[in-house]
Amino acid sequence: MAARKISRVTAEQMDATNSATLQLFKKYCQGDDAMSEGQFAKCCQDSNFADSKFMKNPSLIFAQVKLRNKKTIKHQQFQDALRAISREKEVTYQALVELATTGNLGSMEFEEDFDVQLERSLTHDGSHRVAVEDFDLIKVLGKGSFGKVMLVRRKTTSVLYAMKTLRKAQLIKRNQLVHTKAERNIYQYLKSPFLTHLAYAFQTEFKLYLVLDYCAGGELFFWLQRHRRFSVNRVRLYAAEIVLGLQCLHDNDIVYRDLKPENLLLDSDGHLRLTDFGLSKEGITGAGAQGGTKTFCGTPEYLAPELIQNRGHGKAVDWWSLGTLMYEMLSGLPPFYDQNMQRMYDKILHQPLKFAPRPWSHADYTEVRDLLQKMLNREVEARFGSKGPDEIKQHPFFSVGYMDPGTKSLIDWNWEAVYEKRYTCEFVPPNRDATDTSNFEAEFTSQKPEDSVVNDNMLSETQIEKSRFADFTFTDADSELSRK
Ligand SMILES: Nc1ncnc2c1ncn2[C@@H]1O[C@H](COP(=O)(O)OP(=O)(O)O)[C@@H](O)[C@H]1O
Ligand SMILES: [Mg+2]
C-alpha cells in the first residue's frame, strides 16, 4: 500500500530528479557501510533538486529503505535492482518508491513481506482496486473525533459494513498518525470474536477509510441510557466478552485505553465487540509503569489512578476501566462519578469504593462486589488482572453460572462457550430489517449520508508526505488526547 500512496510528482520534477536521485540511492547502497541518515539527507540538500517534493523529505525514503532492507530485501538484491533500473530510460519516481517499499520492480522478484501482501489483499479485490465508489452510502451511524462513521453497502455483494473516515489534516494537526497506524493494525491483524475487524482500507489524498464489520445493535451506551442499568446475569456475559476481547489485545502487547460504553458495540444477536482502537498502544508488555507507557489519554470517568497521576501505566489500566464499567452497568453510574472533572479525579484517587444498599446489598451482587473491590484496587501490582486475565476469569462471579434467558435455568459457566457465543444474550437488539438503524442515535441517522469533499490544502508539503506514509512510524511521538 505504501507504494500506492505516493503518486503525485509532476513529469518535470521527475525529469529533473531521476538521475540525481538514482545517484543517491546508489551511493546509499554501495558497500556494506551504507550512508547514515544524516549523510543521505545532506546529500539530498546539496543536490540541485531541492524543489522536488520527494527530496524534501529524504528521511522518509531513508527510513523506508532501511526498514525494508532489514525486514526482507537483501542488500545485494536492492543494489542489483538499482543498477537495473538506472540502465532503463524510463525510470520513474513511482518505480523508485515501489522498489524502496516493496522491493518489487517489474521482472525483478523479491520476497514480499506479509504486511504488503495483506495490504494488497485488503485494497484489491481480484484485479479491482476498492474505493469509496464501490459502496452505497446508506446512513450516518456516528460522528467520531476525526470524521464520521456510515452504514454502507458493497454494491457488488450487498454486504453491509460500517465505514469510518478519518481526515488526514485532523490527524496530523493533533499528531495522531502513530495512533492511526496502531488502530489500523489492530482492526486488520487481531482476530477475536469480540473485536471489530477490518474488511477494506483505502485512502484518498485527504482521507483515510476503514471499512469495518457492521454491528447492527448499536452502542452499549445507547442501551445503558435506555435501560438505566442491567441485571447481574446480563453484566456477567458482557463482562466475560470484554475480558476475552481485552485478553486478545493484551496477549499481543496492546493496551486498549478507551474502554467505555460508547466503544462497545452490539451485534445483531446482542453480543459485544470492542471497537475504536484510536488510543490503543502497541508494544506494552507490563501491567504498570514497567513495560508500560506514559501518555495521558482516555476518558475521564474510566481513567485508572496511575494514569491520572502520570506514574506510567500498562495493561492494568484496562482492568480498572472494566471494573468501572461493570459498576456502571450494574448501578447506572461509574463508582467515582462527579460532574466536576477535577473532583472526579480526586475521588478516583482517594474515595473509598462504596456500594449503596440498592442494588448492591441484594444477594445476587455478593460475588460481583468482591470482584469489583479487587479490580478497582489502586495499587497496580495488586489489582486483579495485573497477573493476567485468569485471576478475573477464575473469580466466583463467573462460576455462579449463566442463567439462560429462554429456559430461566442456570447453566454451568464455561469460558469456551462464551468464546463461541453459545450463550443466548438476555437482550437482543430489535432490528426490523438489515438496514434499520433505529439502534443508533437519530441525531446521526437523520443526517444525509455523503462522503463530504474536503480540500485540506492548508497542509504543508511535509505534512502531505507524512500522511502518505501513514503506516510508517519515525518518531514514537505519542501525543495527548482526551476525548469528549
Ligand atoms: N463497526 C461498526 N458498526 C456499527 N457502528 C459503528 C461501527 N464502528 C463505529 N460505529 C459507530 O460510530 C461511532 C464512532 O466510531 P469510533 O470508532 O468510536 O470513532 P471515534 O474514534 O471517533 O470515537 C461509534 O461509537 C459507533 O456508534
Ligand atoms: Mg469512539
Helix (H, G, I), strand (E, B) or coil at 254: strand
Distance 171 CA to ligand 2 centre (A): 15
Closest protein CA for atom 23 of ligand 1: 144
What is the reported pLDDT for 41?
Answer: 53
* 113 included as an active-site residue: no
Give the pairing of strands 272-274 and 264-266: antiparallel
What is the reported pLDDT for 131?
Answer: 87
Q: Is 212 in the pocket of ligand 1 (CB under 6 A)?
A: yes
Helix (H, G, I), strand (E, B) or coil at 96: helix
Residue owning grid cell 463508582: 335
* C-alpha cell of residue 413: 459457566
Closest protein CA for atom 1 of ligand 1: 214
| CA neighbor of 219 nearest in space, from 301, 313, 144 | 144
Q: Model-level pTM greater than 0.85? A: no
- Topology of the domain comprising 6-115: Recoverin; domain 1 (1.10.238)
CATH architecture of 219-419: Orthogonal Bundle (1.10)
DSSP for 407-453, written as a single string:
T--EE---HHHHHTT-SPPS-----SSTT--TTS-HHHHTS------
CB 329 within 8 A of CB 224: yes
Of 134, 213, 258, 267, the active-site residue reads 258
Sequence spans of domains, the chain = 6-115, 132-216+434-466, 219-419
DSSP label at 113?
Answer: P
> CATH: 3.30.200.20, 1.10.3720.10, 3.40.630.10, 3.40.50.1220. Which one for 132-216+434-466?
3.30.200.20
CB 353 within 8 A of CB 420: no
Domain 6-115 and domain 219-419, same fold? Reply is no
Q: Is 162 in the pocket of ligand 1 (CB under 6 A)?
A: yes
Q: How many CA atoms lie within 13 A of 274 on its CB side?
A: 31
Closest protein CA for atom 4 of ligand 1: 215
Per-residue pLDDT of the chain (484 residues; tens, 9 = 90+): 222 112 222 222 333 344 455 455 545 544 334 555 555 555 545 443 333 333 334 434 444 444 444 433 344 444 444 444 444 433 444 455 455 544 433 322 333 343 454 455 566 665 567 889 999 999 999 987 788 999 999 998 899 999 999 888 887 777 777 778 788 888 888 889 999 998 888 888 788 889 999 999 999 999 999 999 999 999 999 999 999 999 999 999 999 999 999 999 999 999 999 999 989 998 899 999 999 998 888 889 999 999 999 999 999 999 999 999 999 999 999 999 998 989 999 999 999 999 999 999 999 999 999 999 999 999 999 999 999 999 999 999 999 999 999 999 999 999 999 999 999 999 999 988 889 999 999 999 999 999 887 665 555 555 555 555 344 222 222 222 222 2
Our mutation pick for probing the ligand 1 site, out of 137, 141, 183, 272, counting the most ligand atoms within 8 A of Cβ, is 141
- Burial of residue 470, with CB atoms counted within 10 A of its CB: 0-12 exposed, 13-18 middle, 19 or more buried: buried
For residue 145, give the ligand 1 atom closest to its CA: 22
E-assigned strand segments in 3-97: none
